[in-house]
A and B are shown apart, each in its own frame.
Chain A
Amino acid sequence: MSTATTALAGKAARDVRFLDSTIGKKVVMAITGVILVGFVIGHLLGNLQVYQGPHALDVYAEKLKSLPPLLWGTRIVLLISVGLHIWSAVTLAGLQKRARPVGYVKLKPVTSTYASRTMYWSGPILALFIVYHLLHFTTGQAHPQFVEGKVHQNLVLGFQNPLVSASYILAMLMLGMHLYHGVWSMFQTVGVNHPKYTPMLKKLAAAVSAFLVIGNISIPISVLAGVIK
Chain B
Amino acid sequence: MKLTLHVWRQKNAASQGKMERYEVEANEHMSFLEMLDVLNEELIGKGQEPVAFDHDCREGICGSCGFVINGVAHGPMPGTTVCQLHMRHFKAGDELYLEPWRASAFPVVKDLVVDRGAFDRIIASGGYISASTGSAPDANAVPIPKKYADLSMDAAQCIGCGACVAACPNASASLFTSAKISHLGVLPQGEPERRERALRMVATATAEGFGNCTNIGECEAVCPKGIRLEFIARMNRDYIQASWLQRQESSAGGVG
Give residues in A with beta carbon < 8 Å to B. 1, 5-7, 10-11, 13-16, 18, 21-27, 92, 95-96, 98-112, 116-117, 119, 181, 184-185, 187-195, 198
How long is the Cα–Cα vector from A110 to B218 in the complex, in angstroms?
6
Contacts of A102 in B (CB 8 A): 102
Residue among A1, A110, A185 facing the most chain B CB atoms (10 A cut-off): A110
Contacts of B171 in A (CB 8 A): 96, 99-100
B203 contacts A21, CB within 8 Å? yes
Contacts of B243 in A (CB 8 A): 18, 21, 24
Contacts of B167 in A (CB 8 A): 110
B237 contacts A191, CB within 8 Å? yes
B170 contacts A108, CB within 8 Å? no
Given A23-B240, A110-B222, A10 and B204 touching (CB < 8 A)?
yes
Given A96-B169, A193-B234, A188 and B229 touching (CB < 8 A)?
yes
Q: Does B90 have its Cβ within 8 Å of any Cβ on chain A?
A: no
A22 contacts B125, CB within 8 Å? no
Q: Does B64 have its Cβ within 8 Å of any Cβ on chain A?
A: no
Contacts of B237 in A (CB 8 A): 190-191
What total count of A-B pairs have CB within 8 Å? 164
What total of chain B residues lie within 8 Å of the partner, measured CB to CB?
Answer: 57
A-B contact pairs, 25 of them (CB 8 A): A5-B121, A10-B207, A13-B206, A14-B125, A14-B203, A18-B243, A22-B172, A22-B212, A23-B212, A98-B104, A99-B103, A99-B105, A102-B102, A104-B68, A104-B99, A105-B6, A106-B71, A106-B97, A108-B70, A110-B222, A112-B169, A187-B233, A188-B215, A190-B237, A198-B230
A189 contacts B120, CB within 8 Å? no
A14 contacts B105, CB within 8 Å? no
Given A14-B125, A100-B170, A192-B233, A5 and B120 touching (CB < 8 A)?
yes
How long is the Cα–Cα vector from A15 to B214 in the complex, in angstroms?
23
Contacts of B208 in A (CB 8 A): 10
B239 contacts A23, CB within 8 Å? yes
Q: Residue-by-residue, is B152-182 near A (CB-CB < 8 Å gives 1, otherwise 0)?
A: 0000000000000001011110000000000
A13 contacts B207, CB within 8 Å? yes
In the complex, residue of chain A having the shortest beta-carbon distance to the beta carbon of B210: A99
Contacts of B210 in A (CB 8 A): 99
A99 contacts B172, CB within 8 Å? yes
A108 contacts B104, CB within 8 Å? no
B204 contacts A13, CB within 8 Å? yes
Q: Residue-by-residue, is B202-243 near A (CB-CB < 8 Å gives 1, otherwise 0)?
A: 111011111111111110111000000110111111111001
Q: Does B191 have its Cβ within 8 Å of any Cβ on chain A?
A: no
Q: Which of A11, A95, A193 contacts B170 (CB 8 A)?
A: A95
In the complex, residue of chain B having the shortest beta-carbon distance to the beta carbon of A91: B212
Contacts of B215 in A (CB 8 A): 116, 181, 184-185, 188-189
Contacts of A191 in B (CB 8 A): 233-234, 236-238, 240
A107 contacts B212, CB within 8 Å? no
In the complex, residue of chain A having the shortest beta-carbon distance to the beta carbon of B205: A22
